[in-house]
Amino acid sequence: MKRLNILLISLALFGCVQMAPKPQIIEKEVFVKCPIPDIPKTERPRIKPEAPYPEKLQCLLNYIFQLERERDMLREVLDACKNEN
């Protein structure tokens, strides 16, 4: 009788482990509130040291204007994200 009880208890314990449900993978859609924009980074110009002064100045001014355009685009995206929230 004791052996039968021990056998039943051990079968119940090991049987529960084998009957446990397998883990399931749940896939959910995640909505991004503010999409990351594709704004190209402004590349730094290479200024030749032997270039004349007006050419160097024009190159730097063009770079500054490109940086301002990049900054304005980033600010527009930030404002749009703030307005969505």
> How many residues belong to the chain?
85
Provide the whole-model pTM. Answer: 0.56
* Close Cβ partners of 47 (under 8 Å, ≥ 6 residues apart): 56, 59, 60
- 36 neighbors 78 (Cβ within 8 angstroms): no
Per residue in 11-70, pLDDT (tens digit) is 776 665 556 677 788 888 877 677 777 888 999 999 999 999 999 999 999 999 999 999
